[in-house]
Amino acid sequence: SNIQDLNETVTLIRVIAYPAKMEYLTGDELDLVGGMFEAVYISGKTDLLSISPSMITGYDPNTVGTQTLTVNYGGQTDTFDITVSKRPEATAVTLLTEPTQKEFVVGTSFDFSGATVKVEYDNGTNEVLDVTPDMTTGANINHMGTQTVTVTFGNYSDTFEIKVVPASISSISVSEMPKKLVYIEGEKLDTTGLTIVANYSNGSEISIASGYTITGYDANKIGEQTITVTFVGKSTTFTVEVVEKV
């Protein structure tokens, strides 16, 4: 086994492909994708291996300039250089476009899609960024009314306004049918057991115990009848049957 171990001893490594990313800004994480090296063993065998972060020494994300990174493998080393430049600092943030949606129902969630800001930097460059939730403060979906949302990038910010409105009834539905669905000609309608649910625009629903109207029943009309339940302008239906009196 000692001969086998000796044959696996690395005698040389050499970087044969640099990582795709060779230029960094201060604070960037090291990205070694694409980096490859060849390991040569005392036996003459060679391996082609990817460079991984655990093999690297010499990277300082906060030091500007050329940095020599060392690849360590099997007791052998090779090096390559990268460049770290000062990350530009924001000098101004300007709202370019407001969100597509400006009105939200209380208790739902915000969607600021469509909102963008222009960020200007101290090196004379600028970029347009989509507004993400972590860039915003001041919005509370559980508080109704007009709200000012602040978009912050670095030490600079701009604002836009949104509105949180009360939930409204979007529809009503029958959640439980009446116990009695078949009637003998002349019988009055009995809605015992009927349960109506109001579905709100924020996704919630509430059972309605009273305040609705029922139309469409004719005790003297034989056959199937569609009964309409109406509540604050919203309607739903259920079906009963009237059979001939014998």
CB 18 within 8 A of CB 33: no
- Between the two ends of the chain, the Cα-to-Cα distance in Å is 103
pLDDT tens profile 13-33: 999 999 999 999 999 999 999
pLDDT, one tens digit per residue, over 180-220 is 999 999 999 999 999 999 999 888 899 998 889 999 999 99
Reading phi first (left if > 0) and then psi (alpha if -120 to 50, else beta), residue 114 is in: left
What would the pLDDT profile of 139-189 be if each residue is shown by its tens digit?
A: 999 999 999 999 999 999 999 999 999 989 999 999 999 999 999 999 999
Residue 5: the pLDDT is: 54
The two tokens of residue 243 are: 């059979």
- Per-residue confidence at 2, pLDDT binned at 50, 70, 90? very low
% residues pLDDT > 70 (the chain):
97
In the predicted structure, residue 58 carries a pLDDT above the cut 60: yes
pLDDT in tens, 64-78: 999 999 999 999 999
Predicted local distance difference test score (pLDDT) of residue 7 = 62
Question: Is the per-residue pLDDT at 3 higher than 50?
Answer: no
Position 1 scores a pLDDT of 41
Contacts 24+ apart (CB under 8 A), 139-148: 139/110, 140/164, 141/104, 141/106, 141/107, 141/108, 141/109, 141/110, 142/106, 142/107, 143/106, 144/106
